[in-house]
Structure 1
Amino acid sequence: MEPPSVGEKLDSRSESSSGSEPSALIPGLPDGIVVSCLARVPRMYHPLLKRVSKGWKELLCSKEWVSYRLKHHVAETWIYALCMNKFEELCIYMLDPNHLKRGWKCVQGLPSCFLKRKGVGLEVLGTKLFLFGGCGWVEDATCEVCFYDALTNMWSSAVCLSTPRSYFAHEVLNGKIFAIGGLGSKLGHTNSWDSYDPHTNCWSPRIDPNFIPDVKDSLVSDGKIYVKCGSSSILSHAYAIVYEPFNETWNRADADLVSGWCGPAVVMDIDYYRLHKSEWIAVRHISYRVRPPCRLVAVDKKMFVIGKGLSTVMLDVRDIYRVDRVLVSSSVPGLITVNDVISCKSLAI
């Protein structure tokens, strides 16, 4: 038996709340047809749709709405960048890859307690953008977590990390957020990692001696988390560890991975791309350079190189091997109000 449609769920909510005939999204039309039409309206216009009526706002803020757009392949992925502005404060900007001319737009309402923090983590889970951890000049590592709901455009507090962390690795795997290593408080275990399960709404702590607090970078590939670690008193060279989800253990990764991992990296399908000194090692070089340090994020078959000031270059990887010498790209001008880009993530609605 198939699950009820978005329209059927809205009808059931209206009936239970009013006890009478359900109020239609558009009088005279079945809700299913209305939803099918509205779902194909570009995401950039969704804030306007929410102002039409209470019913439309409830629809566009519902999980059923997201599921419908994903199921029918009309969901749109936007990029979110955690930055440090010229006032040394954290800020978050978003970019619609389908309308690059609109440029980067600031996400308002970032909680004040995070504004001056360093070493903060940023991850996406569903329609929520999680901001967690970090420390300040006179503040030890924190376990605080907050999230921005892209559906409702609102910030809220969330359950805290098990261990205070700053300057740590973080990734999403199998529907869970992982916070790995980093620098913690004097009472915390720095050789540890936490995982957040949205179904139980709690962080589960683990301790593993296979990695050290000094983490450099991380990525997810082939259903595993890879973390590049710095040198330690035991090892004078950098190395990488890999998380095996089937037995929840960390093991040493192949040495070849570490030797080739010397800059920002991104995984698209089964392909691995890395950026070194603003040049693509395996795919020649970019026709328009951004100011380092850079971050990479992938959306479908397009790759975005985001540098200082949010200067952005978009590359279609399907054209990489068809261009003779220089990659063809589109670019987005930077913002003078933004200094460094700390992290970039993508979120689909």
Structure 2
Amino acid sequence: MSTSTNTAAVKPSTPPEPTQPPRLIPSLPDDLALNIIARVPRRHHPTLSLVSKSMKSLISSPLLYAARSLLSCAEHFLYISLRLHTSHFMRFYTLYQNPNNPLNPKYSLIPLPLIPSPSLVGSAFAAINHKIYVLGGSIKDIPSPQVWSLDCRTHKWEPAPNMHVSREFAAAGAFDDKIYVIGGCVVDNWARSKNWAEVYDPKTGKWNSVPSPIQIRDKWMHASAVIDGKVYAMADRNGVCYEVKSGNWETVDSDLDNGWRGRACVIDGVLFCYDYLGNIRGYDVKEGTWKELKGLEKGLPRFLCGATMANLGGKLMV
């Protein structure tokens, strides 16, 4: 008796080829398309993001902004923090130019996503590269050590490491890719006294204390600026400045201390501020003198309070 067995060879199934993502521009390789898209002004990005999913992903990716930086296509944008009388929340806006009418450009305030702690009062601000840092502030009259960062490429909020002490109405400034924060805390114990001034390095994600003399440690700061490697912190009287390279502290020159009113900005080593009479004055640190800015006799209104100045790509904005 004999038996026979029939066997059939089974071919292994061929795995499907991976689907290639669609190109940014169908007729061009992606590296060339990236080179082209990176040159498009940022005000057109909202429209570009509607073209395709791959384009939308590129618009919000660090790759595009790295390419724009390499091509010297990076642009300056103004970001504004406002607390309207109709709301107790702090809102951030960016100033955008209308892309539909380049011959008659109009600017609009575009609201950004709400900061995760919108009820903060008395926060300090500093900017490094593509990020804006919101430092401290009080919530229901209780100072906070928390720090938030806004990525200006994606307009997303991220938590940053907390400061060593809680602060409100502190002075802050950025120099050499580090953030310095001064005052805004009650020096009533050893820890707060030691950390009256702190420095934050985004590369390491760490805060470190900055040694400071006991006699300069005022609580509240109403203004700050960075000029020629010095971080200026203006109190109600007797402002101080910290020279980063040497680690030395100095009292602010009396002419600068007496003439600095409100929030100021620095352009080419000159500190500009807006006084209550409607005049813009600039303080030349090297000469140690105030000079009134000419040509605005019929231009600006007189603000009783709250006027803020900004350096937007070397231009003075009020």
1:58: how far off? 4.2
Structure 2 residue matching 1:119: 3-state secondary structure: coil
Structure 1 residues 94, 140: closer, same or farther in 2, change over 3 A?
Answer: same
Helix, strand or coil for the counterpart of 2:242? strand
SS where residue 77 of structure 1 aligns?
Answer: coil
Give the aligned partner of residue 215 of structure 1. 221
Which residue in 2 is equivalent to 1:92? 92
3-state SS, counterpart of residue 189 of structure 1 = helix
1:48 positional shift? 3.4
Aligned pair partner of 2:138 in 135, 157, 166:
135
Over the matched positions of the two proteins, sequence identity in percent amounts to 26
Aligned residue identity for 2:110: K
Match of 1:201 in 2: 205
Question: Per residue, is there more strand in 1 or in 2?
Answer: 1
- Contact 1:267–1:273 (CA under 8 A) maintained in structure 2: yes
User: 1:22-64, CA deviations, whole angstroms, 9 ceiling, x for partnerless residues?
Assistant: 8643233133321222112221222333344454344333434
**Superposition RMSD on alpha carbons, in Å?**
2.7
1:227 to 2:233 alignment: yes
Deviation at 1:20, TM superposition (A): 9.1
Counterpart CA distance in 2 for 1:119 and 1:263 is: 14
In the alignment, what sits opposite 1:192? 196
Q: How far apart in 2 are the matches of 1:97 and 1:223?
A: 33
CA distance in 1, matches of 2:96, 2:302: 19
In structure 2, the CA distance between the partners of 1:41 and 1:176, relative to structure 1 (3 Å rule), is: same
Q: Contact conserved, 2:175 with 2:229, CA < 8 A, in 1?
A: yes
1:177 deviation in Å?
A: 1.5
Counterpart Cα distance in 2 of 1:55 and 1:185 = 53
C-alpha change, 1:247 and 1:62, in structure 2 (3 Å) is farther
Q: 1:194: how far off?
A: 1.5
* Contact 2:222–2:262 under 8 Å retained in 1: no
Distance in 2 between residues matched to 1:153 and 1:265, nearest whole Å: 25
Which residues in structure 2 correspond to 1:44-83 (within 5 Å)? 44-83=43-82
Q: Which moved more, 1:295-304 or 1:283-292?
A: 283-292
For the 8 Å contact 1:166–1:184, the answer to whether it is kept is no
Q: Answer yes or no: is 1:294 the counterpart of 2:307.
A: yes
Question: CA 1:97–1:45 in 2, change beyond 3 Å: closer, same or farther?
Answer: closer
Q: Which runs of 5+ in 1 are unaligned?
A: 1-17, 231-237, 306-349
Residues 116-125 or 280-289, more deviating: 280-289
Is the CA contact 1:140–1:185 (under 8 Å) kept in the aligned structure 2? no
Contact 2:92 2:111 in 1 (8 A): yes
Shift of 1:290: 5.7
* 1:288 aligned partner, one-letter code: L
Residue 187 of structure 2 contacts residue 196 of structure 2 at CA under 8 Å; is this kept in 1?
Answer: no
Distance 1:184-1:26 versus aligned 2 partners, 3 A rule: farther
95-104 or 275-284: bigger deviation: 95-104
Q: Deviation of residue 169 (structure 1)?
A: 0.5
Summarize the alignment of residues 12-31 of structure 1 with structure 2, pairs less than 5 Å apart.
24-31=23-30
TM (norm. structure 2) is: 0.77
Distance 1:197 1:97, change over 3 A: farther
Give me the TM-score of the superposition, normalised by structure 1: 0.71
Q: Is the 8 A contact 2:180 2:231 kept in 1?
A: no
- Choose the corresponding residue for 2:162, options 145, 157, 160: 160
Secondary structure of 1:172's counterpart equals strand
Question: Could you say which residue in structure 2 is the equivalent of 1:182?
Answer: 184
CA deviation vs aligned residue, 1:183-232 (integer Å, no higher than 9, x gap)? 358665157112111110121123412342232211111122112223xx
Q: How far has the Cα of 1:106 moved from its partner?
A: 1.4
Give distance in 1, aligned partners of 2:98 and 2:48: 19
Contact 1:181 1:215 in 2 (8 A): yes
Structure 2, unaligned stretches of length 5 or more?
1-16, 100-104, 282-291
| Change over 3 Å in CA distance of 1:270–1:46 after alignment to 2 | same
User: 1:299 & 1:98 partners in 2: Cα distance?
Assistant: 18
Q: State how many pairs are aligned.
A: 278
Question: Greater relative contact order: 1 or 2 (C-alpha under 8 angstroms, separation 6 or more)?
Answer: 1
